[in-house]
Amino acid sequence: MDLMLTGFAMVADPAIIGVILIGVIIGVLVGALPGLSSPMAIALLIPFTIPMTPIAAIAMLAGLYCAGTFGGSITAILINAPGAPPAAATALDGYPMAKRGEAGRALGLATISSVTGGILSLLILLLAAPLLARIAITFTSAEYFALALFALSMLASISGKSSIRNLIAGFVGVFLSTIGIHLTTGVERFTFGVNELYDGLPFVPVLIGLFAVAELLKQSRVGETVFERVRANVMKLPSRQDFQRIKYTVLRSSGLGTFIGILPAEGATVAAIMGYNEARRWSDRKEEFGTGIPEGIAGPEAANNAATGGAMVPTLALGIPGSVSTALILGAMVMHGLKPGPYLLENQPQFLYAIFAAMLIANLAFMAIGIAGAKLFSQLTLIPRTILWPSVLVFAIIGSYAHSSSFFDIWVMAIAGIVGYFMLRIGFGPAPLIMGLVLGPIVEENFSKAMIIHDNSILSMMERPLVLLFFGLTILSLAGPVRSAIKARRNRNLLMATKEGE
């Protein structure tokens, strides 16, 4: 209890509440604007946190993370343009409801479901993270290596255009993390004589390049989009009847979203799609889905916001990111001198409560901001792209430069952006690469230690049951996409055979 109070007291500072609110406003703004994403905003915001205390910095980023997921639902409902991928499923029923003249009701349902999902997942974070950390503290480097390998293998199944490409991008990310001085032997690796690379590839410029500059280049050939707007009345909180109707959907989606969030690499987008599908599967009005029914909004919204709390569980307890946004938060924690993982929760347990309090404040804040400003946020899409994207470029330049006041970092950002743009074109997403870059040092450090302890023998490592379990899970995780591919191929062949028969 004392620890909980200490944690809450760490956040109760007006300055920290202020930065959480700023994070929430930026999150809702970014979430509402199609093209801008939460990971991009976190990457751009990290440089602003440099002079902050670690707790203020992480609280701000956590606030942005929660609110960014919710913000996408505003434009999904009002203009049928999901501001963020996790809100795509919300548009399926949110927009038809808004078109029926019930935009306020749709926004209210989305807000309440999001907040409920977010808060329930935070409660699970509070219970699960210390338990997981207690187990993880007994892990040797062999188990940690196997766990990190499992997290990397999960990249094969994260949303994207291809499992193989996700894995390649993940391994490239891990490879990039090996650039610089090898900490154990002091040998320079892949620096090609560039002094600035001795400490490794600068993390923030790479993030900004891959998320912001690559997207900017993609937007360079997109014309100005004119959205059909639905007139938004004042947001209405759900009626008692609506509450009755969505309560089980919200509970089920919150549980599902939290579970998906906990799985390494799986994030809010997958949670939202599954939340929508499950809401439909359990409903006795399946045929009404897509016409604007409350369950179609509550299902994905509760799930995608629950995934944010869920994704923080492995991030804080194991130091293994649960999603790309938490990978960035993890990177920011390392930048601020924290080492996320079981020892952080063992030595500074109040940190968990502080994060919990920050995310709780963020959830309540975006409810208030969402209710008060939904109409305003939907107007953000009126900002011309010729003003929006130059602003992103200015933040990208200054954000890359600020960390070490070096133009070399701006070069890294520009090159990462151009490479990221071409990667996007050929089906490689930035998310797996960033996950690999974050997981890289953990994988290598534990691999090296485990190899020394086990006399360079992987077989000897596998004598440990948990290592065997994680290796087994890795194989299952890699087999998943192969099985789906075979199934999809079989279905396609069947379809073609039926067509030929006809």
Partner 1 sequence: MNQDTDGKDAREAGRQGGPLGLIDGPDTILALVLVALCGLLYWVSAGFPEPGLFLGENVLPEHFPRLLLIAIGVLALLLPFEHRLEVDRWPLIRKSRSAPIGASTFVTMGCLLILVGIGEWIGTILTIVVAAVGLPLLWGERRWLLIIPYAAIFTGTVTYLFSIVLSVYFEPGVFGLTLR
**Contact set with partner 1 (CB under 8 A):** 48, 50-51, 161-165, 167-168, 171-172, 174-175, 178, 182, 184-190, 213, 216-218, 220-221, 384-387, 389-391, 393-395, 397-398, 401-402, 405, 407, 410-411, 414, 417-418, 421, 424-427, 444, 447-448, 451-452, 456, 482, 485-486, 488-489, 492
**Separation of alpha carbons 107 and 77, rounded Å:** 7
Between 118 and 200, CB nearer to partner 1: 200
Closer to partner 1 at the Cβ: 3 or 172? Answer: 172
Q: Count of CB atoms within 10 A of residue 170's CB? A: 27
Q: Name the percent of the chain in helix, strand, coil, to the closest 5.
A: 75, 0, 20
Q: How far is the CB of 21 from partner 1 (least distance, A)?
A: 17
| 127 class by beta-carbon count within 10 Å (0-12 exposed, 13-18 middle, 19+ buried) | exposed
Do 298 and 275 form a contact (C-beta atoms < 8 A)?
A: no
| Torsion angle in degrees (nearest 10) through CA of 136, 139, 142, 143 | -40
d(CA 144, CA 496) in angstroms, rounded, equals 46
CA–CA gap between residue 374 and residue 364 (Å, rounded): 15
Between 1 and 192, name the residue whose CB sits nearer to partner 1.
192
Question: Minimum distance from CB of 405 to partner 1 (Å)?
Answer: 4
Residue number, 6 or 448, with CB nearest to partner 1: 448
Closest contact distance (angstroms) between CB of 15 and partner 1 is 13
Residue type, 57: A
Is there a contact between 279 and 296 (Cβ–Cβ < 8 Å)?
yes
* DSSP code at position 201: S
216: left (phi over 0), alpha (psi -120 to 50) or beta: alpha
Do residues 61 and 332 make contact, with C-beta atoms less than 8 angstroms apart? yes
Picking from 2, 35, 3, 52, the residue whose alpha carbon sits closest to that of residue 23 is: 52
Q: How far is the CB of 493 from partner 1 (least distance, A)?
A: 9
Instruction: Please state the closest distance from residue 321 (CB atom) to partner 1, in A.
Output: 19
Nearer to partner 1, 3 or 50 (CB): 50
Phi then psi for residue 202, to 5 deg, are: -60, 125
**Minimum Å distance from CB 414 to partner 1?**
5
Least distance to partner 1 from the beta carbon of 265, Å? Answer: 17
Q: Which is nearer to partner 1, 14 or 384 (CB)?
A: 384
Residue 9 or 488 with smaller CB distance to partner 1? 488
The size of the chain, in residues, is 502
DSSP one-letter code for 189: E
Least CB distance to partner 1 at residue 83 (A): 21
489: helix, strand or coil? helix
Q: Closer to partner 1 at the Cβ: 272 or 410?
A: 410
Residues with Cβ within 8 Å of 289's Cβ and at least 6 positions away in sequence, in order, are 92, 93, 279, 280, 283, 295, 296
Shortest approach of partner 1 to residue 336 CB, angstroms? Answer: 15
